[in-house]
Amino acid sequence: MQYDRNSIEKKINQSAVFQLEPGSAGYRREALKLVELLFHYLMVIGKGKYDDFGVEITETANRCIKNYDVGTGPFLNYFNAAWKLEYGHAVGRGLVGDNYVGIKFTDAIQRKLRGYLKYASSRGMDTESAEFENNVRAALGLSGAEYRELVTIVKNRTISEHAKNAAGEEYSVFDRLETGTHVSDGIIKLETMESVFGAIETNYNRLQDRQKPILRDLITLKISELIAGDEPVIRLVQAKSFFNKELYIRCVSEGITARHIAEKYSIKEQSLSRTWKQFKEKLADSIGGELNGLK
């Protein structure tokens, strides 16, 4: 059967699955039909881009059918947002495998190496010497090949929360979190976002457990406004504990706002604004101490 985008979108939007009782024979039958339609939909719009992601497409379709709330907007918007997130994650897994062949370096190890290099440079030590390499390798528990790979990665990354716009003017990516301005307005590097996300992760993990749910939702909302479907950045942020994947999908597909979060936790928007301001101040202090300063 040949599919075109308009006809398949129409069939998806007319699916009867959400009018049926979950678990019933009719529901299962219609759900299978919808999964097949969503698969063909992505094949049509992807034009070969998604050919190797059949498993991920099927899993995402099933998850969306199960979790979708009919009162929150068109299902296809919800699915598209969920797929963009899953696709970015799937591609990211492949890139990690291709680039590092199983060698993975945690943020903590990278920060430690940066610290050693900065300390050594500030005291005029030779960071290229065999003695320095052996000492740091021992401290980090790395082989020679792992150490050299890690040094290459760290030395080629700019550790700053700043980026430049098209006019060459520097701005703080963190300030973009405050205003909701999309990062595509500037020439953004993944290394910059990694620094910002690393600082957010560190400060988020220091919060009391009772504070985390609200901040997690609020941070995710701010990030959704910032990255707006930027697949490389999405791959980067998904591993962070402060990122709420389901809320991100809703932010993209439904236009979730701070008011929705305030209502969810039965608090006033002003209180939510103060919560964000306090967290932002702590984050600014952290970046100022560790990442060359927040101007």
Contact in structure between 270 and 277 (CB atoms under 8 Å): no
Give 253 or 60, the one with higher predicted confidence: 60
280 or 26: which leads in pLDDT: 26
* pLDDT at 68 exceeding the cut of 90: no
Question: Torsions phi, psi of 140, nearest 5?
Answer: -95, -10
Query: What confidence tens digit (pLDDT) does each residue in 194-235 have?
Result: 777 888 888 899 899 999 999 999 999 888 877 655 666 777
List Cα–Cα distances, 39 to 33, 90, 145, in angstroms. 10, 16, 42
Mean pLDDT over residues 115-135, rounded? 81
Of 249, 235, 206, 193, the residue nearest 81 (C-alpha): 249
* Angstrom distance (rounded) from CA 156 to CA 159: 9
Confidence of residue 36 (pLDDT cuts 50, 70, 90): very high
Q: Partners of 171 in the beta sheet?
A: 163
Task: Residue 129: count other Cβ atoms within 10 Å of its Cβ.
Answer: 11
Note the pLDDT of residue 113. Answer: 83
CB 137 within 8 A of CB 143: yes
- Does the structure show a pLDDT above 80 at 178? no
Asked if residue 80 has pLDDT above 50, the reply is: yes
Coil, helix or strand at residue 140: helix
Residue 207 contacts residue 185 (beta carbons within 8 Å) = no
Distance CA 212, CA 220 (A): 12
Q: How confident is the model at residue 187 (pLDDT cuts 50, 70, 90)?
A: very low
CA distances from 52 to 23, 47, 49, 90, 231 (A): 30, 12, 8, 10, 17
What residues have CB less than 8 Å from 137, skipping those under 6 apart?
A: 143, 144, 147
Torsion angle, alpha carbons of 124, 149, 238, 209, to 10:
-50
Q: What is the pLDDT of residues 157-169, one digit of tens each?
A: 433 444 444 445 5
The pTM of the full predicted model, rounded to 2 decimals, is: 0.49
H helix runs in 68-143, sequence order: 75-100, 107-122, 130-140
